[in-house]
Chains A and B, each alone.
Chain A
Amino acid sequence: MKTDAKQQIMAMNGDEAVAYAVKQSNVDVVAAYPITPQTIIVEKFSEYVANGEVPTQFVCTESEHSAMAASIAASATGVRAFTATASAGLALMHEMLFVASGCRVPVVMAVANRALSAPLNIHGDHSDAMAERDSGWIQIFVENAQEAYDSIIQAFRIAESKNVSLPILVGLDGFTLSHTLENVTTLVDDVAKEFVGERELPLVQTHEGKSAPFKLDPKNPMTMGPIALQNYYFEFKRQQEEGMKNALSVIEKVHAEYAELTGRSYGNGLIEKYQLDDAEFAVVCVGSTAGTLKTVVDEIRAEGIKVGLLKLRTFRPFPVQEIQKALAEVSLVAVFDKSMSFGGNGGAVFHEVRHALYDNAAHPLIVDYVYGLGGRDTNPKEFKKIFHELHQIARSKRVEKLVSYIGLRE
């Protein structure tokens, strides 16, 4: 893809890439609380603020709960708000995540995905974000620091799109991405700023009978976050679902526009297919593991085994149709889950993929592999072994274990 946009290569870890993208996105308010492995984002951003490099109000709150409350309130006042967290911080925000989506405020949040206590563990897995899958947030998971940068820039456009108007979470794997230095190609400030644009507010009807921009404004008083009981609560939840549905095409559209501008794309923005077209069986994963698996797919392909990868970039809204289409021809699907749903017979991604494929005319066999909890490394060799195992399952068409664990000591 050709691009005219002027870009520059910078050496940054994932957290720095996020902070840099936020710096370029004309963000008005950042309200956040530090937590490993997200800390670098707030530290880096604090430097920008301290050096006068950004015209942003930085509110260093006393907790993540307040960080989210302040982000919601700032966004409700009509400005652009960003926050970042991880693990326990996201869990502490839990209540407010539902408030954010229910209040339809397009807050953008980076989550440096990390395990949840107990036992305490600071390393990367997806337990934190997966526990928030029903919170009404759009969720995008990235593969590398480059995608973290690109996705944050896109996130503002997606969240603020008038027919979406929902908060968005961009997940980057703790330490694997947050702390690992990479070359990141960045837009120059003006181009990034222009791409993100100004926040446009939808018009709503107020109790004074006026049609006014959706914000707390003494000129057009409106009541936000009221109590809605049996007679209306359900309707508001249905509205949110519509926003989510609309997000599917908006994510694709914004992604395509960005690809046009930068020359970088991640599938269609919802899913990314790798060697999937003629694959006999497929693996599905979320996040940085996709990078490892692409290499493993190449190596397995070199052995003459037809395997493909589906990288799930957008987890919420779940791109059901794209997945149904992408996996229509395979006889076996293996899902790699970096979190547990205790007692749920498999991880969150597994549930979702299996649910999506139920409607396919020919059901493939679907198995789940839970891996990497608490940051445990899963190396290409181990994945290779799994791929060979999968090859056998695909041949025998017999699944002995629905859910397996990679690299776990018995």
Chain B
Amino acid sequence: MATTQEWKFTAKEIAEKPDLFLPGHRACAGCGPANALRMIMKATRGPTIVTEATGCMEVVSSIYPYTSWAVPWLHTAFETSAANASGIDAALRILKQKGKLQEHVDVIAIAGDGGTFDIGLQALSGAVERGHDFLFVLYDNEGYMNTGIQRSGGTPMGAATTTTPAGSVMPGKLQHKKPIADIMVAHNMEYVASATPYYWKDMLQKVRKGLEVEGPAFLHVFAPCPRGWRSESAKSIEYEKLAVESCVFPLYEVVNGQYTLSTPSKLISLAPQKKRPVTDYLKGQGRYRHLFNPKNKYVLDEIQRWTDERWTILLKKAEQNA
């Protein structure tokens, strides 16, 4: 059973906890995912094994002969983080069964949006269906940033990437983002949640809840990429806040299929006037610059329409469960 216990993570407590994702990694300045992983690792509750898909965070943290991981860590391929977690989980189970392992060991599988929405989805779906005990952390920077900013199933509509450039006839990516968390909810998982580091306490609690689940849990973490978003490195955390305030990335939990808005999004639902227009979030990001050309206003309108629609659907789901 997913626990409803609220951990009282205080800023000082978290600050005092030693880093498990170490300095000296080679992420770009202002990297959202690097900050997210550093924080997420602070919410671990004991012995932990991490397995990571190929991607930015894997590359920047394990350039031989250096490692930024203070925990046991395995990388095999791009599409395999959930499959790796299956193997590790099976191994831990048999070690316990044979009395060779006494303590509980948490398994965290980490992948970017490419390794989750796209190439890794099959392995993720399989591992969840089989019920392995692991927390899957998706750090979503909305594109294949490691290979030079290409579109993924997680790239939002209108965003310019190197495979969806803003051209004279195409205004960036034509499709909306794949609703990955809903797809995971459809697996009848015990715990699915969205989080972003700006709301650090909310995120750390969700990490801990995901770890507490005896079975698979899924955490969708929104983490800006200043390089790929053509945004200021200093504003990565600010965009996390704006994404939540504009309901582009609402924060919620789904425990055994029951949707609950998390506090930051809950407050917006209670005071709808606080919901900011998506343009507050989009402006300033170079990937959306072309949308502010009047001829592309229809794309901005569609993003707002879609965001509102998704938000309304989410509100309904949360209300039904209230």
Contact = CB atoms under 8 A, between A and B. Distances in A.
Interface of A: 28-29, 31, 55-57, 59-63, 65-67, 69-79, 81, 95-96, 99, 103, 207, 216-229, 231-232
Contacts of B123: 62-63, 65-66, 69
A112 B67 CA distance: 39
B224 to A, nearest CB: 23
B126 interface: yes
B74 A66 contact: no
Given A218-B71, A226-B63, A96 B84 contact: no
B309 to A, nearest CB: 32
Contact of A70 (B66, B86, B98, B125): B86
> A-B pairs with the 7 shortest C-beta distances?
A62-B126, A73-B87, A218-B47, A70-B87, A77-B91, A226-B62, A69-B83
Given A62-B123, A95-B77, A73 B71 contact: no
B72 interface: yes
Interface string B56-98: 0011001111110111111111011011111110111111011
B51 interface: yes
Contact of A77 (B64, B80, B88): B88
Contacts of A103: 76
B129 interface: yes
Contacts of A72: 76, 84, 87
Contact of B87 (A81, A207, A217, A218): A81
Contacts of A232: 64-65
B125 to A, nearest CB: 7
Interface string B160-172: 0000000000000
A61 B94 CA distance: 17
Nearest to B68: A223
B88 A221 contact: no
A60 B90 CA distance: 11
A213 B249 CA distance: 44
Query: What's the interface size class on B, roughly?
Result: 35 or more
A60 B130 contact: yes
A228 B79 CA distance: 19
Contacts of A55: 94, 97-98
A166 B156 CA distance: 43
Given A221-B70, A221-B72, A227 B105 contact: no
A57 B91 contact: yes
Contacts of B125: 62
Nearest to B125: A62
A217 B72 contact: yes
A28 B97 CA distance: 10
A239 B75 CA distance: 19
A105 to B, nearest CB: 10
9 contacts: A28-B90, A62-B122, A66-B83, A73-B83, A81-B87, A218-B46, A218-B72, A225-B74, A227-B58
B75 A225 contact: yes
Given A69-B84, A70-B87, 15 more contacts: A31-B87, A61-B83, A66-B83, A67-B83, A69-B76, A69-B123, A73-B76, A74-B87, A76-B88, A96-B77, A216-B73, A218-B72, A224-B74, A228-B64, A232-B65
B48 interface: yes
B67 A57 contact: no
B124 to A, nearest CB: 10
B279 to A, nearest CB: 39
A63 B122 contact: yes
Interface in B33-69: 46-49, 51, 58-59, 62-67, 69
